[in-house]
Amino acid sequence: MRLLAAAVPRVGRIIKEVRPHVAIGGGGFASGPVVALAALRGVPGLALEADAHLGVANRLLRPFVRRICLSFPIAGLEPPKYILTGRPLGPAQLTAIAPEGRQVFALRADLPVVLAFGGSQGAQSINRACIDAFGGKDLGFQLVHVCGSRNHDAVRAELEARGERFERYRLVPYTDRLASAMAAADLVVARSGGSVAELAALGKPAILVPYPYATADHQRKNARWMVANGAALMVDDAELEGELLGALVDDLLGDSARLAEMAAASAALGRPDATRRVVDEIERIVKR
């Protein structure tokens, strides 16, 4: 609370110096004082909601903004206050292509690719399931497993102990080319945070494992959106284990028609024009 109180005069000075036409909040707690104080000084506001759940900051900002741009449909939130724009993504997420991804990660063109990741820090449950399902096995596909830098040495040691030779198993501690890896993948195993919008933009089918401690369980809500539209399967974190993951991956890769249907469903959910839609709303507010 002290930090928020200290922010008010500093925000006031910035607003006075910059004299903005519109204030935009990204949904985090830091955006609250800026957008609210701007509104009290006559500056119209807009907020962005990144998940399939309206967060605390955006709920508090509702009286202070003209628009809240939603990344996902949320029941009961309708125009004109709420506009479904999709989640804005950068050029790297929108322009990534499979050949580039295969080159970056040294992947063969004649074998399917599975990408597994759990965010920039990795996910212990996904790491464990990948080790148990695929470590030391004769894989009929290529696996790109982004395990997190802090987990890399332990994961690699365990894989080596299982006889893994890393010919079709690409163990990666961290990558800033995740969009390229997604583009190269035929199937993705991942958490269901912001990456869900990236998967849809690239039209990728997925096995989603929501982080169980996400605020308001929003990752489960994100995953349900994909599942309800036929683009993904969902596995609870507590239920994820190697035998189940291996069976799901084998079933999907072995059913090309189903995998293609899931990919098409994912692409249908993608909103590559989300940034343009948000900009359009900003321009409408400014003109008004």
Q: What is the pLDDT of residues 60-74, one digit of tens each?
A: 999 999 999 999 999
Dihedrals φ, ψ of 70, to 5°? Answer: -100, 140
31 — phi, psi (to 5°)?
Answer: -80, -20
CA distance 275 to 169: 35
Other C-beta atoms closer than 10 Å to the C-beta of 13 total 10
pLDDT at res. 288:
79
Separation between Cα atoms, residue 136 and residue 156, nearest integer Å = 11
Angle at 272 between CA 266 and CA 273, to 5 degrees: 140
Give me the helices (H) in the chain, please.
2-18, 31-40, 56-61, 91-95, 98-104, 124-134, 152-161, 178-184, 195-202, 218-228, 242-253, 256-269, 274-287
pLDDT for the residue numbered 147: 98
CB atoms within 10 A of CB 128: 17
For 213, other C-beta atoms within 10 Å of its C-beta total 8
Q: For 64, which DSSP code?
A: G
Q: How many whole angstroms from its chain centre is CA 46? A: 22
Q: What is the pLDDT of residue 246?
A: 98
Q: Which residues of the chain have pLDDT under 50?
A: none
How far apart, in Å, do the first and last CA atoms of the chain sit? 34
- b/e map of 149-165 (b: 16 or more CB within 10 Å)? eebbeebbebbeeeebe
Provide the strand spans (E) within the chain. 23-25, 45-49, 67-70, 82-84, 113-117, 142-146, 169-172, 187-190, 206-208, 232-234
* Cβ(183)–Cβ(153) below 8 Å: no
What are the pLDDT digits (tens) for 255-274? 999 999 999 999 999 999 99
Distance CA 205, CA 258 (A): 10
Q: What are phi and psi of 208, to 5 degrees?
A: -105, 135
What is the C-alpha separation between 126 and 206, in angstroms, rounded? 13
Contact criterion met (CB below 8 Å) for 41 and 15: yes
Largest CA distance in the chain: 66
Report pLDDT for 1: 56
The strand pairing partners of 46, in sequence order, are 24, 67
